[in-house]
Structure formats: structure tokens, C-alpha cells
Amino acid sequence: MERTFTFEKLPTTIAELQTLPEYAMSDPFMTAALTVAILCRYEADPQATAEMLNAIKGPRPLSPFEIQFLRDRLAGKGYKPYSYFRGATPANNYTPDRPYTITVRDDPYSYQNEGYARLQMHSFGADTDRPITLRKKGDQWLLWEQMLLSDIRTPAKDDEWA
């Protein structure tokens, strides 16, 4: 199964995040889509990004390791999360179509562990989908682990071979 989500505007604060219908996090697909939307804010405001991620992580906030990981993976590479939105390619420097549209998929192995969902997301700068794991708590699916920030193809503006 796959689900597609559309964002007119990406959240920049917790208050904006909380107004989105996906913030209900009633299924793991919603939380996966929110994660990418939040990560797009990192380059402009790392603190607001951390606060929003903590809001979708539930009782387990970002660890110092996770904060450092975000810094390491996104410093000077803020285009990475945008690469998951429709229309974003290396040729256009990962500028997505508007409104922002993202697709989240499950696969035959997504629900192997009770209370967890391991979904797949496609970066238009990579050859393979990237996993994100969500964990159920009560009626919500919370962010547990994301593997979305591996390197991808260099944007044309930064590629001396383009």
C-alpha cells in the first residue's frame, strides 16, 4: 500500500505543525510524511526542527547523538529532505513541485514486529528507497528511527560534472 500526502506549506514551528491534519499521527504513514516535512526546516532553524521532531517522537526526545547526527547529515545539505517531494531532482537542485507532495509505502516486511511499522520513502536523488520506523503508543504512531539522510546525488549547482 502507498499513501500520498500534500502540504500547501511546510511547518516552521510546533504551532504550525499542530494545525496539520497529519499531526493526528493515527497511522504510521502520516508520521513518516510529517518527519520529512519537519526535516526541511533544519537548515533555516535547527532548534525549531528539534522541537518539532520531539513533538512527533513522544516520550523519547532526540538524544545528543541524534542531534549531532542531524547536524552532520544536514549541514550544508539542507536539500536532502526536499528530495523526497515530487518534482525534486538533482537537475533542479531538489526544488519540489508545489504544493509539496510526498508518497510513503509499506512492503511485505513493514509490520514484522508488533507495535512497529517500517515504511519506505523514495528520494529522487537515490536509487533505492529509504526506511523510516514508527512505533505505536496508544492511538498514535510516533517517530522511532529514520534512515532518510544518507547522501544522495549532488544538486546540479554543486556538481562540477553537471
Per-residue DSSP letters for 36-104?
Answer: HHHHTTTTT-HHHHHHHHHHHHTTSPPPHHHHHHHHHHHTT-THHHHTTSTT--GGGTT---SSEEEEE
**Which residue matches cell numbers 532548534?**
47
* Residue at 162 is within a domain: no
Amino acid, single-letter form, for residue 106: D
Classify residue 153: in a domain, yes or no. no
**Residue 91 CB neighbour total at 10 angstroms:** 13
Q: What is the mean pLDDT of the chain?
A: 96
- In whole angstroms, give the CA distance from residue 22 to residue 10: 12
Percentage above 90 pLDDT, the chain = 96
Domain assignment of residue 103, yes or no: yes
Residue 37 lies inside a defined structural domain of this protein? yes
Residue 131 belongs to a domain: yes
In this structure, is residue 157 part of a structural domain? no
- Kindly report, residue by residue over 61-119, the tens digit of the pLDDT: 999 999 999 999 999 999 999 999 999 999 999 999 999 999 999 999 999 999 999 99
What are the φ and ψ backbone dihedral angles of 22, each rounded to 5 degrees?
A: -65, -20
Contact between 125 and 90 (Cβ < 8 Å): yes
pLDDT of residue 161: 78
Give pLDDT, residue 159.
81
pTM for the model? 0.96
User: 76: alpha, beta or left, given left = phi > 0 and alpha = psi -120 to 50?
Assistant: left
Q: Within 10 Å of residue 41's Cβ, how many Cβ atoms? A: 24
Domain of 38 in residue numbering reads as 2-148
**Structural domain contains residue 160:** no
In the chain, the number of structural domains is 1
DSSP-derived letter for residue 154 is P
pLDDT in the model for residue 160? 83
Residues 20-48 have a mean pLDDT of: 97
Amino acid at 53: L
